[in-house]
Amino acid sequence: MHFSLASVSFWDLALWLSVTIAVLGVVIGLVIFLSLEIAHNSPVHKCRPKDSPVHLLVVLGSGGHTAEMFYMLSRMDMKRYTYRTYVVSSGDNFSAGKAKEFETERACSDNNYNIVTVPRARRVHQSYLTAPITTLQCFWACLTILCGLHPDQQLPEQYGSPYPDLILTNGPATAVCVILAAKLVRFLQCVFGFNFLLRSSTTPPVSNLRTIYVESWARL
């Protein structure tokens, strides 16, 4: 039977899109709900072995968000966070430069940090029709970062787990993708005991994928 898109009426197409969006919304909502339940009920390790390496992942927004983030980082003891991964959006040279400047001021070795670039979730003045596509691209890149598979990453071998121990962010859009990606990884690992990106059921528990979101006063 020959099928032609031209034979589909506008209302049939609208109904199909509505059902698809509704189903995706229910699935995403269920994943978020279950992952939150898992996160709230999973044990939190109060103590870490002395001198154990800690991987900190920092999501840098742009402009005021980046300035606020480094204001917070400047008051943290970077010696406790032995490796830092900075996530910046494509084209955000300001944030990448600030990360290098921050590390240089503290005389840190290049082996102690790296800067990873992800596609921008939504560009300024970008159409809302195409924004979901770029957001999905950003989300996928964030997934690969959390699993240690991004081509820009150079995590030292001393870290047994590819997952960051702590995620620190203050927004905006890229942070949402990182947080949702972390929730998805935790959900899949805790429920199914399997990481679909690493294709392994023997990876360490993802209880170290803890997220701190600091509400920002910055305005775009």
Number of domains observed in the structure of the chain: 2
Instruction: Identify whether residues 21 and 126 lie together within a single domain.
Output: no
φ, ψ of residue 43 to 5 degrees: the values are: -65, 140
Instruction: Identify whether residues 118 and 179 lie together within a single domain.
Output: yes
Q: Is the pLDDT of residue 153 over 50?
A: yes
Instruction: Identify whether residues 94 and 175 lie together within a single domain.
Output: yes
Residue 66 lies inside a defined structural domain of this protein: yes
Instruction: Identify whether residues 124 and 208 lie together within a single domain.
Output: yes
Residue 127 lies inside a defined structural domain of this protein: yes
For residues 25 and 29, give the distance between their C-alpha atoms in angstroms, rounded to a whole number: 6
Q: What is the mean pLDDT of the chain?
A: 79
Instruction: Identify whether residues 29 and 61 lie together within a single domain.
Output: no
Q: Is the pLDDT of residue 70 over 90?
A: yes
Instruction: Identify whether residues 52 and 126 lie together within a single domain.
Output: yes
CATH of residue 204: 3.40.50
Angle at 60 between CA 57 and CA 64, to 5 degrees: 145
Residue 218 lies inside a defined structural domain of this protein: no
Instruction: Identify whether residues 124 and 176 lie together within a single domain.
Output: yes
Residue 31 lies inside a defined structural domain of this protein: yes
Residue 71 lies inside a defined structural domain of this protein: yes
Instruction: Identify whether residues 33 and 76 lie together within a single domain.
Output: no
Query: Would you state the pLDDT for residue 99?
Result: 94
Instruction: Identify whether residues 118 and 15 lie together within a single domain.
Output: no
Instruction: Identify whether residues 194 and 128 lie together within a single domain.
Output: yes
Out of 27-31, 34-38, 187-191, least confident range: 34-38
With cut-offs at 50, 70 and 90, classify the pLDDT of residue 195: low
Over residues 44-62, the mean pLDDT reads: 77
Residue 1 lies inside a defined structural domain of this protein: no
For residues 60 and 73, give the distance between their C-alpha atoms in angstroms, rounded to a whole number: 11
Instruction: Identify whether residues 90 and 188 lie together within a single domain.
Output: yes
Q: Containing domain of residue 27, as a range?
A: 10-41
Instruction: Identify whether residues 96 and 162 lie together within a single domain.
Output: yes
Query: Would you state the pLDDT for residue 148?
Result: 86
Residue 2 lies inside a defined structural domain of this protein: no
pTM for the model: 0.76
